[in-house]
Structure 1
């Protein structure tokens, strides 16, 4: 017996959702579902956050006393080289790629990424270069010791004449990381431009998508410079070429141009998505529309443009002419303008709002406060006289970590907590989340705030021993570092126990606006499948009584299905 209304789609086996308890094997396979890949990225990156944090704690254990009495100075050089490399290339870039995979398709109504196989390949390069970096601890001579910037001529020396040394593995890993990130950038930019839901014009996109778009544009423009520079340096070290060897006619300062042309904009690759997280979280938990939505969106690309013309402020003391110093001092300070537009909009959004101090909101408030402080010290460092005076001191280390950890990592934690129910199907434990925030905020403040004073007083960076006059600042910093290590315990307990047995999450536990909150928790394999709603307004209409999508029944159907 046949039916003329037969739909062959009913024969399709249902795809298990990414958070299903019987579906854990998908996370260890070459899976093309963006949500699975996103969780793979995030889980891998959080593992290396612990590795990088452990390396940092050993360093702070060394620095708690003035003499080098815990590890050998050459071992210390390897520790700080690998700490910076692991935190940037194995934690921050992968965790942000993971959030991009989870959020971009669901926020814009796409079934998946534009190039799913390329997306999976980008992730599986991460374990490859992770093995190269971690493997360098076990070869003769140990890991690279020339810092995470790897300046020649130090980085092209091989005093032990080993066939393979840690520096070669470091350069190969950085080059592979560049290839992985370029793959991801192609995917993210194409998906945002070409795969938005009906009615979702650019000025109806969530700001997270704007900031991710801007960040990945920087990747496409700047990352080939670092990748090419790493390959050229690898050739100098391995095959005797002279791209950067002075004795062969090369120029070691040229490498610094390659490195910083990307590596300073890379800070904005990391901070721009966090700006998007701030915009999503502040509006949700303040129950107010985002102030100046279009200006905040356009400011993202103002930052993109200016970020590509500031790199020489890292090279003020390399013999650059005065006209170049003045030019790049001006561009460096100008980038505070579009950044200030965002900060002003967030403060105006919070002002008078009905604030709910949930764990994501606390992390975002802490991250914003720290970012404002880091922005002030960044403007100081952008001026030529101050930069030359403190450029080789702990003042730079303190400023850098205020941006990277105190602002960016706190924003990442906010995102993990905010979207945890959506992509796991379970609620986290609020009490553990607030304990995690308190320990993290106190620890990171105690770790890096005192180092500003140590730097202003002249304590040099990159050293395992120092003058006893700086001891008190380093004792405080080391206590803060150990407190950050303790802070990881409630976080791990919360994530593991919540996902395993936490309360079931509704589709929209926060009462948020946005396409991802119309989906079940966790979302199905192809997100909206054939039922993508038409978008009418931007996703920040809290309190305005404006419909976000055209199909009002869509909300009802999804709620009933859940």
Structure 2
């Protein structure tokens, strides 16, 4: 079907039309259910809320939705690669490029990031005894910027303008000369809008952790998830700023004919440097919060304080610092020269040291512990050997001479997924099962949780382990077909079976949530016999927490108070009651940036100017709002 929209010719193939029909039907069903159950008030409540737990729920909800969308893309990729010279529907050539672009971009920016930020929003204030994040309004702005950035990226599919430049957006492929049309612009503006929201959230977390801890909670007494969230926030502040710079330069190249990454003055290598200065710290932005989750989970279900707490904190800080010194190992084949390659090879090997320290600390935490094999603990135990395998192949890739053989093959795909899925995704699953009672008040079914764990873990290894071999056999990444030679057919078919097994595992998770809510059995404050402060408040965590404020006297203070049969000491000399602030302004700010970007994408400059004026007006309105408080949390 072809039609013209504001002078733009749009052609919608059958798959896009099917997506439109499905989305309209789904939307109509949701609206019907909302109206039938009269839950419009709940939707409005979440649209205007500034409470950290509700914002965390929104992050997690949309992260899970996008996880299924990106997972379907992965299944399309694996179906196309299941057989040599395969002709699967339309997923070849340009369409295949679109699918692996959306898969990678969605998984990194719109799945892993929001799920981790959702857990940070929900848990970190509770762990450190804060009433909320330091700037609740800014926190809400950060979420709606993420939301509208993700929507902007996703509407490209419904307009048959999906970007096809890979999640890395390499120039010169991403410049107007090689990918004309609006597809790449959806990538650029989608990441710009959502990335700005991520930066705001990182600033908020830094101020919250540094300034809003409970009395007595020195930084040397914070839970490790709070520590990893703090260091991750500093990484976000630097890395996402560099990404924003790269995206702005690419935007000027595409929209206004600048030559930063092309022409006689520009150079596409500049994009690689800027992207990977962001891209490799991003690996640790995704992994470090998961390390914090595993530390808390392993400590709780081993009934032991985490082994070597100071060294754990130091190793996290070292990983964050060294993360900015390894980016060019992605560029060994570019031709930077032997000195640069040697330097980045050494720093890449060096970063394995603090990472290895953490693995041994987790093992020693479990040693002589009273281990309970709950679902969160199983995901944590599955992480350790899986992540170590990814680390071993990372050391192999750090050898610049060997990287010439490994580069741009399925070996790199296998390594990347062994690192990200083993750390981030397993960490998110562990965190969701662990803190689900604190988020919702319900405890997920353990039997279904085990089915989810085993099917996902087996499917994960079955998918990506064979890719090491296909990569060593020379199968390149980013290709949609291959010939039947070197045993590639059998190994690719195994990977496809594993991918579908991972997909099946998520059905157990869906059924688990449905069964839990259907049975409706609420749990108490502390179903896991936890060690940290979040387990001292009600489940789900109310908006008014820590009133009166607890006094922390040591690491795992809540645990040791319980063990001694005492209650945590408290004080009423510190403010605890959160401000009951609701505002529609964050939603409007995010939507105006959406329309501003839409105007720039299609050269509707009148829309961009109007949106910019409305945005400026909204910021002025916000600046007139005085929410200062006195020492006890009362409005001045």
Question: Normalization by structure 2: what TM-score?
Answer: 0.80
Counterpart among 206, 209, 215 of residue 192 in structure 1: 209
Q: Which residue of 1 aligns with 2:51?
A: 33
1:86-101 equivalences in 2 (<5 Å) = 86-101=106-121
Check the 8 A contact 2:146/2:195 in 1, yes or no: no
Partner Cα distance (1:519, 1:279) in 2:
21
Are 1:286 and 2:296 an aligned pair? no
Asked if the contact 2:173/2:179 (under 8 Å) is kept, the reply is no
Which residue in the other structure is 1:64 paired with? 82
Which of 116, 132, 148 aligns to 1:128? It is 148
User: Could you list the runs of 5+ residues in structure 1 that have no partner in the other structure?
Assistant: 1-20, 555-562
Give yes or no for contact 1:261–1:308 (8 Å, CA) kept in 2. Answer: yes
2:321 matches 1:301: no
Decide whether aligned partners of structure 1 residues 34 and 542 sit closer, same or farther in structure 2, where only a CA change above 3 A counts.
closer
Q: Does residue 1:173 correspond to 2:190, yes or no?
A: yes
Cα 1:282–1:26, aligned 2, differ >3 Å: closer, same or farther?
farther
Q: Secondary structure at the match of 1:155?
A: coil
Match of residue 71, structure 2, among 53, 68, 74: 53
1:526 aligned residue: 544
Match status 1:258 vs 2:258: no
Query: In the alignment, which of 239, 250, 253 is matched to residue 236 of structure 1?
Result: 253
Q: Which residue of 1 aligns with 2:402?
A: 386
Aligned match of 1:332: 348
Any runs of at least 4 consecutive aligned residues in structure 1 with deviations exceeding 2 A, and if so which? 21-28, 157-162, 499-502, 540-554
Deviates more, 1:305-314 or 1:463-472: 463-472
Summarize deviations over 1:461-484 as a string: whole Å, max 9, x none: 100011312111110000011111
For residues 185-224 of structure 1, what are the structure 2 equivalents within 5 Å? Answer: 185-224=202-241
Residue in 2 that maps onto 1:79: 99
Structure 1 position 494 matched with structure 2 position 494? no
What is the CA–CA distance in structure 1 between the aligned matches of 2:463 and 2:359, rounded to whole Å?
25
In the aligned structure 1, how far is the partner of 2:186 from the partner of 2:360? 44
Structure 2 unmatched ranges of 5 or more:
1-38, 572-636
Q: Shift in Å at residue 256 of structure 1?
A: 0.6
Structure 1 counterpart of 2:243, from 226, 237, 260: 226
2:183 aligned with 1:146, yes or no?
no
Distance 1:431 1:237, change over 3 A: same
Q: Is residue 532–residue 559 contact of structure 2 (8 Å, CA) maintained in 1?
A: no
> 1:560: which partner in 2?
none
The reply to whether residue 157 of structure 1 matches residue 176 of structure 2 is yes
| Whole-Å separation in 2 of the counterparts to 1:527 and 1:67 | 60
Distance in 2 (CA, whole Å) between partners of 1:438 and 1:414 is 13
TM-score, normalised via structure 1 length: 0.91
Q: Is the 8 A contact 2:284 2:323 kept in 1?
A: yes
Distance 1:533 1:92 in 2: 32
* Whole-angstrom CA distance in 1 between matches of 2:179 and 2:208: 48
- Give distance in 2, aligned partners of 1:542 and 1:395: 44
- For 2:62 and 2:45, the matched residues in 1 are separated by 11
Question: SS in structure 2 opposite 1:369?
Answer: helix
Change (3 A) 1:540 1:411: farther
Query: In the alignment, is residue 508 of structure 1 matched against residue 487 of structure 2?
Result: no
**In 2, are the aligned partners of 1:539 and 1:548 still within 8 Å (CA)?**
no
Distance 2:557 2:154 in 1: 44
